[in-house]
Amino acid sequence: MKRKGLVLVYTSNEPRELVEDFNSDMPEEEFAKKLEAARKEAPKAVEYLRKVIRQQELRNES
Query: CA 51 to CA 19: how far, in whole Å?
Result: 11
Encode the chain in three state secondary structure. Answer: CHHHCCCCCCCCCCCCHHHHHHHCCCCHHHHHHHHHHHHHHCHHHHHHHHHHHHHHHHHHHC
What is the pLDDT at residue 15? 58
Count of Cβ atoms closer than 10 Å to residue 21 Cβ:
16
pLDDT in tens, 20-57: 888 888 999 999 999 999 999 989 889 988 988 888 87
